[in-house]
Amino acid sequence: MANYHGPVCRFCRREGAKLYLKGERCYSPKCAIERRAVPPGQHGQARRRKTSDYGLQLRAKQKARRTYGLLEKQFRSYFERAAGEPGVTGTNLLRHLELRLDNVVYRLGMGASRKQSRQLVSHRHFEVNGRTVNIPAFQVKLGDVIKIRDQADTAVAVALDASKMRTTPAWLAFNEGDKSGKVLALPERQDMETGVEEHLIVEFYSR
C-alpha cells in the first residue's frame, strides 16, 4: 500500500495543532508548532481570510487523515464503509481508524508515533493472537491479544520509554511483563482522538 514519505512537521503547522507525527520530538521544544506556529510556505504569515464552510470541512478531513497517516483513497474507503453501517457515521469512521493494528500498537505505547508503528508492523514485529501480522490496516477485534515477537527489540523499548507521558486508553490493557496488549472493549467516542471533528468530515463527503 502506498504511503507518504515526505516531511510531516509542516502538516502540524498547516492544521495549527499538534498531530504527534514524530513521537518524542512533538513533546519537546523542537516541535514545529512550538518554534513557528504559522502555516508553511511563503504566505504563511500573511493575514488570513475568513474560511468558508467547505474550507472548514476540508481542513477537518485533512487533519484526521494526516493524524492517522492515511492517503485520500484509504480514508474515503473507511468513510464509505462507516456510512453503510448502523449507528453514527462519524463515530463508526473513527472506530475503524482506532482499530487499525498500527494505531493500536501506537496507543499501547509500543510505537513512538503512528508512522513508526506502521513500519514496525510492516516489518513483522508483532503477533495478533499468536499469529504474525504485517498489515498495518489489519482490524483488531474485541479480545485480541497483540504481542511483540522480539522482547529485546530496541525500537520498541525506546518507544515504550518515550510513551510514558501518554496514557493507555480504557479500551486497551498493556502488560508490561511480556510487552503485550489486549483489546478490552470497542472504543467509544470519548476514548478516541479529541481533536477530530467527525461531523465536519461527514458533511464534507456528503456534499
Q: Pairing mode, if any, of strands 131-132 and 172-175?
A: unpaired
Please state the rounded mean pLDDT for residues 79-102. Answer: 95
Do residues 105 and 45 both lie within one domain? no
Instruction: Share the mean pLDDT of the chain.
Output: 83
Q: What is the CATH number for 107? A: 3.10.290.10
Radius of gyration of the CA atoms of the chain, in A: 17
Q: For residue 79, is it within any domain?
A: yes
9: left (phi over 0), alpha (psi -120 to 50) or beta: alpha
Whether residue 95 has pLDDT greater than 90? yes
Strands 126-128 and 131-132, sheet pairing: antiparallel
- DSSP, collapsed to helix, strand or coil, labels residue 144 as coil
Q: Is residue 2 part of a domain?
A: no
What pairs with residue 145 in β-bridges? 182
pLDDT value for 91: 95
What's the average model confidence in pLDDT over 178-197? 90
pLDDT at 138: 97
Q: Which grid cell is 56? A: 472548514
User: Which is higher by pLDDT, 15 or 149?
Assistant: 149
Residue among 41, 40, 21 nearest 31 (CA): 21
Query: Both 60 and 116 in a single domain?
Result: no
Residues 133 and 155 in one domain: yes
Q: Which amino acid is at 175?
A: N
pLDDT of amino acid 1: 46
Examine residue 84 and state whether it is found in any structural domain, yes or no: yes
Q: Are residues 83 and 70 part of one domain?
A: yes
Is residue 44's pLDDT more than 60? no
Q: Which residues contact 11 (CB under 8 A, 6 or more apart)?
A: 19, 21, 66
The confidence score (pLDDT) of residue 22 equals 57
> Is the pLDDT assigned to residue 4 strictly greater than 80?
no
Report pLDDT digits (tens) over 52-73: 889 889 989 998 998 898 999 9
- pLDDT at site 28: 61
Residue 3 lies in a domain: no
pLDDT given at position 154: 75
Q: Is 46 exposed, middle or buried (0-12, 13-18, 19+ CB in 10 A)?
A: exposed
Quote the number of domains for the chain.
2
Whether the model clears a pTM of 0.75, i.e. scores above it, the answer is yes
Same domain, 26 and 70: yes
Residue 174 reports pLDDT greater than 50: yes
Q: Quick one: 121 and 179 in the same domain?
A: yes
Backbone dihedral angles phi then psi of residue 27, each to the nearest 5 degrees: -100, 0
Same domain, 49 and 117: no
The yes-or-no verdict on residue 133 having pLDDT over 50 is yes
End-to-end CA distance of the chain: 28
Using alpha carbons, select from 88, 60, 93 the residue that is nearest to residue 76: 93
Residue 1 in any domain: the answer is: no
User: What is the pLDDT at residue 23?
Assistant: 60
Beta carbons of 170 and 191 less than 8 angstroms apart? yes
Domain annotation covers residue 133? yes
The domain of 166 spans 100-186
Res 195: pLDDT: 83
* CA 67 from centroid of its chain's CA atoms: 5
Instruction: Verify that 104 and 56 share a domain, yes or no.
Output: no
Q: 132 - beta bridge partners?
A: 127
